[in-house]
Amino acid sequence: METKTGERKPDWIRVRLPAGNEWERVDHILASHGLHTVCDEARCPNKGECWGCGTATFMIMGEVCTRGCRFCAVSAAPEGRPLRADEPEALASAIQEMGLSYAVITSVDRDDLEDRGAGHFAACIRSIRAKNPRVKIEVLTPDYVDQEMRLVAAAKPHVLAHNVETVRRLQGVRDARASFEKSLKTLVQAREFGISITKSSILLGLGETREELRETYAELRSAGVDILVMGQYLQPTPKEIPVVEYIHPDRFSLYAQDARAAGFSTVVASPFARTSYHAFDAWKAGKR
């Protein structure tokens, strides 16, 4: 893969391939319940590490998204597949079989549904808690607002994550139905409706500047966001937008210092960091 400027992948961009018995066990459990993960659908670079540790980020409401963000490899179409009525129970059972203490649930966007899937999200949270009362639950939701957010918040997840994805100037890489302002509203309302910890993520390497990142940190903190994750954008396939720049690990450290100075309780920043990467550790740090 090459960037617009012809820069090839640097040495620090290396992905460990999935391997081992634990990876096979996770794969079997997911397949037996007919569940999808963002690890597979979005071609996450951390699949080998996370699955090898027995963790996965579940993706509900099918594998077809109704939005078409220019950086994302998840399949898109005007309508998604019919919701599975048994998905909440299947999810809860898989989490029980995997013996998880922390579960991350995300989804495709479902603009074709009346409540955009918020009720299904809430049903999944309730089902997980009923079968796994000690499991901590993090949800990475679409840009839910108003009644949609009320439905999810009422189910009481421990963490609500929603990603602004990039700085204001570069929001055009997202689907036109998304916006920085709407994402901020999602994060603000999550706190207003009773969720105690919120989280957001930024992809680096799309052309952002350090000053723009600092402005983004300030706005996220004003919205009450506790946990910030920053990772390198990696072009999933030739269909998505190319990388503008590979950010050196030293600059990740610098950006992390800026973010901590802005007041986030937890900052996760490294080339392969993604929203749910080391999510349990981030939650524990955010509780302090």
The CATH number covering residue 31 comes to 3.20.20.70
- Does residue 2 lie within any of the structural domains? no
User: Does the pLDDT of residue 246 top 50, yes or no?
Assistant: yes
- Does residue 280 lie within any of the structural domains? yes
- Does residue 8 lie within any of the structural domains? no
How does pLDDT run across 175-233, given as a tens digit for each residue? Answer: 999 999 999 999 999 999 999 999 999 999 999 999 999 999 999 999 999 999 999 99
The better pLDDT of the pair 256, 237 is held by 256
The better pLDDT of the pair 174, 237 is held by 174
- Does residue 6 lie within any of the structural domains? no
User: Does the pLDDT of residue 6 top 60, yes or no?
Assistant: no
User: Does the pLDDT of residue 36 top 50, yes or no?
Assistant: yes
Task: Record the pTM.
Answer: 0.86
Least confident of 107-116, 231-240, 248-257: 231-240
Distance CA 187, CA 163 (A): 9
- Does residue 7 lie within any of the structural domains? no
Coil vs helix vs strand at 232: strand
For residue 170, what is the DSSP state?
Answer: G
> What are 96's two structure tokens?
């029980």
Burial class from Cβ neighbours inside 10 Å (0-12, 13-18, 19+) for residue 241 reads: middle
Distance CA 228, CA 217 (A): 8
β-bridge mates for residue 267, sequence order: 228
pLDDT of residue 13: 73
As annotated, the binding site for [4Fe-4S] cluster includes 39, 44, 50, 65, 69, 72, 276
The chain-wide mean pLDDT, for the chain, equals 86
The better pLDDT of the pair 210, 4 is held by 210
| 175-278-209 Cα angle (round to 5) | 50
* % of the chain with per-residue pLDDT over 70: 81
User: Does the pLDDT of residue 39 top 80, yes or no?
Assistant: no
For residue 246, what is the DSSP state?
Answer: P
- Does residue 68 lie within any of the structural domains? yes
Burial class from Cβ neighbours inside 10 Å (0-12, 13-18, 19+) for residue 287 reads: middle
Q: How confident is the model at residue 51 (pLDDT cuts 50, 70, 90)?
A: very low
The better pLDDT of the pair 95, 32 is held by 95
As annotated, the binding site includes 39, 44, 50, 65, 69, 72, 276
pLDDT of residue 57: 81
User: Does the pLDDT of residue 24 top 90, yes or no?
Assistant: no
Strands 227-232 and 64-65 come out as: unpaired
User: Does the pLDDT of residue 170 top 80, yes or no?
Assistant: yes
User: Does the pLDDT of residue 240 top 90, yes or no?
Assistant: yes
* Count of the separate structural domains present in the chain: 1
pLDDT of residue 117: 98
Domain that holds residue 113: 21-287
Residues 149 and 190: beta-carbon distance below 8 Å: yes
Mean pLDDT of 41-50: 47
What are the DSSP E strand ranges found in 10-76?
36-37, 57-60, 64-65, 75-76
- Does residue 263 lie within any of the structural domains? yes
Residues 37 and 54: beta-carbon distance below 8 Å: no
pLDDT of residue 285: 53
What are the DSSP E strand ranges found in the chain?
36-37, 57-60, 64-65, 75-76, 102-107, 136-140, 159-161, 197-204, 227-232, 266-269
pLDDT of residue 23: 57
- Does residue 14 lie within any of the structural domains? no
